[in-house]
Chain A
Amino acid sequence: MLTTVGGKPLKEALAHAQSRAKRRAFLLVLPLLAFIVVSFIFPIGQMLYKSVSNTGFTISKDFGTGVSTPIMTNLAEWFEENPQGTDPDETAYAALAADLLVLRELKAPGQAGTRINYELSGSRSMFTKAARKAKKLAPPFKESIIDLDEDWADPSLWQAMRTASSAVTVNFYLAALDRKRADDGSVEMVPENRQVYVTLFKRTLILSLMITVICFFLAFPIAHLMATLPMRKSNLLMILVLLPFWTSLLVRTTSWMIVLQSQGVLNDAMVATGILADENRIQMMYNQTGTVIAMTHILLPFMVLPLYSVMSMINPSYVRAARSMGATSWTAFRRIYFPQTVPGIGAGALLVFILSVGYYITPALVGGADGQLISNLIAFHMTKSLNWSLAAALAAILLGAVLLLYWLYDRLIGIDNLKLG
């Protein structure tokens, strides 16, 4: 057995020395790891958790004292004892009355009502109203509660309360896919006039795909030109490609608004030159066209750069070799040059597609009504309707779709073929 000068087994000493080196190397990445955990993994975990868990109808937290109190416990007990489909009887209403009293004491009827409102809109005010009068409720509770508002007898309300009585739910995912629980607990589509999310997901994917394809067709020639021109000229082109990066996103989007709107530069120019009659001005802004044009412009560099970096590595002698072997310039391009650019195309397309799937500010500014993407709706639920669980569910579905695409890409082209620069 090999030993060190000191007599220790060599293998052991080596492993010891190496593990110390590994520990020290790990210390170097520790700050970044901690940063990523705190700022990325933890929030994403929180978001995913929020999408399946909403405590609005189960726990009330007093933010002054920090004390959490369970609410709606009596009702939850009744739901537990009586299976799905049982008509609410006097005991159920008695439990509700007791819970309303608790809500009133805790000043929490709004919170509980909001949670039910997510499932059944218009029900929030019933809770606030009923809680205000909770003290006056007397047996028989069923009649006195229905006296307050006859909607309390609505089976869908009871179905909504049944699901909400457990914090963990998949209902937000159902809602994000334009589905809901029927009164009997089965899953059904929401009425047609309220279906928005699936359409938006589809539109987001289609527009993103369109933007990616347009970016590819615009970027390929310019990247090729940059890769073949002499250094000085290609550097100038590179600066022109990067120029948009140095301008604020907002400024760029606004300038597109100035150019494209119906009283804008482009329409004015076309009317002035007589191409277009004044009453036929083309609507290029506040619709999908505007979103596609502005986003293509903004995301173009993300396609050009990986393509350029791949193309500049392709030796011109490959095409020459193909030509000398009898291939026409088209065949040489198709069979020899193009396949070698695939890693760049993959990287660029993936980058542009993923960025545009989650793009928010540009569609918000230039999209109008039908140019909105799913991220605009996520933002709406985050900031306006405050239905964070639904926002989280939408975001999680988006994340899942992107991961699926990534997996598909890996299967079809291979992720190790990706070349970003």
Chain B
Amino acid sequence: MADSHTKDAFVEFDRVQKSYDGENLVVKDLNLSLPKGEFLTMLGPSGSGKTTCLMMLAGFETATHGDIRLDGQPINNIPPHKRGIGMVFQNYALFPHMTVAENLSFPLEVRKIPKTEREAKVKQVLELVQMGEFGGRRPAQLSGGQQQRIALARALVFEAELVLMDEPLGALDKQLRETMQFEIKRIADDLGITVVYVTHDQTEALTMSDRVAVFEDGRIQQLAPPDELYESPQNSFVAQFIGENNTLEGTVKEIKNGIALVQLDGGGLIDCKPVNVTKAGERTRVSIRPERVEFNKDRLSAEAHTLKAEVLEFIYMGDIFRTRLRVAGKDDFIIKSRNAPDQVRLEPGSQVEIGWMAEDCRALDA
């Protein structure tokens, strides 16, 4: 990636590789650097190498090749307890035989911080996560969300500048997860800490992060801020993985004035923005977001290419309408339209013409 080896990098992965068995690389050539205070999310399906990266940073796994630097210092040979990195685990890992206060005081005790100071810090961090009166409880007496807060507090209490989070919200229900996303983001911003967050939930990644690194097959497929990731995916994996997406396959017919004309396999010609295609004759997979598809003829420009489509299904979802159509021989094409007073509800069985702005339709790798 272009922005590695920068001078102000706080955390830096430099050509890092990892193999468990000596045959397969779980992490292949990872280059990543993040400045102080950034909230970076590693997003990817399971087995994509994101958790391994986190464990290498925490010191529980060693890199087979390459350097990991923290604040400019290589940390490959520093044991985990000397790295001073806070960590929140997937199952929280709150010590069951200690009370909440003892859990929070543990990292301070091993740092030989005097008792009065310890108590003050524990109190302070409990206030921070709004759990002030729970110090005397055992972890088992707390709800999932409360345990989550304590786990977060424990990673923060010794004032680590870097906090790693390994799918910390995985065990919570949807509503609580959303509250906690907001909460974690707020605390991270308030304290100015650097966070590396691992998740397979793309909504979480998009809502919380400054930048998202999409992992697949041991590599970062794209590293970008959430809006860029969503609107300008660099390849078809990212396009597929982030958000809902319609894909059509075809061959590039010509590229002219920054617009690629693509002949679809199922019939029809469309205008796309060439991203991974450079010349006519290349195979491509075009990607278009459901909410960027237009079926109102008046709103389409006259010269734009359109496709014929048959409405198969109309689903009312409250805030939006979700319409499934058959387009170019494929019957999983989705349109999302806002539930506005003047919105048209497409009738199943009817024929419509659909189109889009050329820049919303990205011609990616096949």
Q: Inside 8 A of A328's CB, which chain B residues have their CB?
A: 81, 110
User: How distant is the Cα of A328 from the Cα of B95 in the complex, in angstroms?
Assistant: 16
User: How distant is the Cα of A327 from the Cα of B95 in the complex, in angstroms?
Assistant: 13
Among A101-109, A112-120, A123-131, A314-322, the stretch that binds chain B is A314-322
Q: What distance in Å separates the Cβ of A319 from its nearest Cβ neighbour in chain B?
A: 9
Q: What distance in Å separates the Cβ of B169 from its nearest Cβ neighbour in chain A?
A: 16
Q: Does B106 lie within 8 Å of A327, measured CB to CB?
A: yes
Q: Inside 8 A of B86's CB, which chain A residues have their CB?
A: 324-325
The one of A315, A323, A340 that contacts B81, using a Cβ cutoff of 8 Å: A323
Q: Does A321 lie within 8 Å of B89, measured CB to CB?
A: yes
Q: Inside 8 A of A321's CB, which chain B residues have their CB?
A: 87, 89, 93, 95, 154
Q: Does B182 lie at the interface of the complex (its beta carbon under 8 Å from any beta carbon of A)?
A: no
Q: Given A323-B80, A340-B97, is A315 in contact with B110 using a C-beta cutoff of 8 Å?
A: no
Q: Does A420 lie at the interface of the complex (its beta carbon under 8 Å from any beta carbon of B)?
A: no
User: How distant is the Cα of A323 from the Cα of B87 in the complex, in angstroms?
Assistant: 10
Q: Does B154 lie within 8 Å of A318, measured CB to CB?
A: no
Total interface residues in chain B, CB < 8 Å: 27
Q: Given A320-B60, A321-B87, is A326 in contact with B110 using a C-beta cutoff of 8 Å?
A: yes
Q: Does A317 lie within 8 Å of B106, measured CB to CB?
A: no
Q: Given A317-B90, A320-B93, A340-B96, is A325 in contact with B107 using a C-beta cutoff of 8 Å?
A: yes
Q: Does B93 lie within 8 Å of A317, measured CB to CB?
A: yes
Q: Does B81 lie within 8 Å of A327, measured CB to CB?
A: yes
Q: Does B35 lie at the interface of the complex (its beta carbon under 8 Å from any beta carbon of A)?
A: no
Q: What distance in Å separates the Cβ of B106 from its nearest Cβ neighbour in chain A?
A: 6
Which residues of B65-89 have CB atoms within 8 Å of chain A's CB atoms?
79-87, 89
Q: Does A339 lie within 8 Å of B80, measured CB to CB?
A: no
Q: Inside 8 A of B295's CB, which chain A residues have their CB?
A: none
Q: Does A336 lie at the interface of the complex (its beta carbon under 8 Å from any beta carbon of B)?
A: yes
Q: Does A11 lie at the interface of the complex (its beta carbon under 8 Å from any beta carbon of B)?
A: no
Q: What distance in Å separates the Cβ of B14 from its nearest Cβ neighbour in chain A?
A: 22
Q: What distance in Å separates the Cβ of B107 from its nearest Cβ neighbour in chain A?
A: 4
Q: What distance in Å separates the Cβ of B114 from its nearest Cβ neighbour in chain A?
A: 16
Q: Given A326-B158, A327-B106, is A336 in contact with B95 using a C-beta cutoff of 8 Å?
A: yes
The one of B83, B85, B110 that contacts A327, using a Cβ cutoff of 8 Å: B110
Q: CB-CB contacts of A313-354 with B at 8 A, as 1s and 0s?
A: 001011011111111110110011001100000000000000
Q: Does A320 lie within 8 Å of B89, measured CB to CB?
A: yes
Q: Given A318-B93, A320-B93, is A325 in contact with B110 using a C-beta cutoff of 8 Å?
A: yes
User: How distant is the Cα of A286 from the Cα of B171 in the complex, in angstroms?
Assistant: 60
Which residues of B17-76 have CB atoms within 8 Å of chain A's CB atoms?
58-60
Q: Which 6 A-B pairs have the closest CB atoms?
A: A325-B107, A321-B93, A324-B87, A317-B93, A323-B80, A327-B110
Q: Which residues of B contact A (CB under 8 A)?
A: 58-60, 79-87, 89-91, 93, 95-97, 106-107, 110-111, 154-155, 158, 164
Q: List 9 A-B contacts (CB under 8 A).
A: A315-B93, A317-B91, A320-B93, A321-B87, A321-B95, A322-B95, A323-B60, A326-B111, A340-B96
Q: Which residues of A contact B (CB under 8 A)?
A: 315, 317-318, 320-329, 331-332, 335-336, 339-340
